[in-house]
Amino acid sequence: MRTDIIEIRWHGRGGQGAITAAKIVANGAFASGFKGVVMAPTFGTERRGAPVFVSLKISKNKIYDLSPITAPDMVVVLDHTLLDEVDVIAGLKENGLVILNAPKPLSEYSFGGAKIAVSDVTKHAVEAGLPPGIVNSGIIGAFSQATGLVNIDVMVTAIENEFTGKRPEMNSKAAKIVFENTAVGGYI
């Protein structure tokens, strides 16, 4: 299969903004030269609070296969309580990466040898001035730090464009604080 496509699966809860987060990363990636960007939410069954996932594929070339991701290169988890409900690493490729919003330190987590990045996004978002529970802007800072795929400055612009009229500076500040406070482990 094509090896030029990076597949990123986002896990969140309905209403938590996983789609918006993936859309912001899609915009940041596109602005960074990834001309192929495809983002597909869970189709048809979103409910507030229920686990949802979003597929984001990025490539330097146009992407033709829009089917959901089954073997992600990386997964992003917006809510650590999902770990008890969802097998977030299902299908994760060897040398995969897990980016996690969680209150505990990196050493507390293990995902079958995958590289792990952890930040307490929930806490840092409040530090940025956002109401408790808004994590979909902050998590992008962790994504930028852990993957290096899209520069944090590009992400900040993408965040402020998306949140026009909805606390753009606080949202981008959350991402910047998280970017500086993301612990990235190695392969185990």
Partner 1 sequence: MHIIESGNVAAATGVKLSRAQVIAAYPITPQTPLTEKLSEFVESEEFDAQYIPVESEHSAMAVCIAASTAGARAFTATSANGLLYMSEQLHWAVGARLPLVMCVANRGIGAPWTVWNDQQDTMSQRDAGWIQIYANDHQQIIDSVIKAFLLAQTVSIPVMVCYDGYILSHTYMPFEQPDQDQVDSFLPPFAPKNFLDPENPGNFNPVTLPDVRPGVDGEIEPGYIEIRHNLHEDLRTTLDTYAAIDKEFEEQFGRGGNPLIEQYKCVDADFVAVCIGSLSYQLRDVIDLMRDDGVKIGVMSVQMYRPFPDEVIVAALADKKCAIVLEKALSYGNQGALYGDIKSALYNSDTKPHVHNYILGLGGREIKTQHLLDALTESCKSPETIGDTPRWIGLKL
Measured from the CB atom, is 41 or 185 closer to partner 1?
41
Report the nearest approach of partner 1 to the CB of residue 43 (Å). Answer: 4
Measured from the CB atom, is 70 or 110 closer to partner 1?
70
Measured from the CB atom, is 66 or 90 closer to partner 1?
66
Report the nearest approach of partner 1 to the CB of residue 141 (Å). Answer: 20
Measured from the CB atom, is 5 or 177 closer to partner 1?
5
Positions touching partner 1 (CB under 8 A) are 1-2, 23, 26-27, 30, 35, 37-41, 43-44, 63-68
Measured from the CB atom, is 83 or 161 closer to partner 1?
161
Report the nearest approach of partner 1 to the CB of residue 23 (Å). Answer: 6
Report the nearest approach of partner 1 to the CB of residue 126 (Å). Answer: 29
Report the nearest approach of partner 1 to the CB of residue 41 (Å). Answer: 6
Residues 6+ apart with CB under 8 A from 34: 58, 59, 60, 149
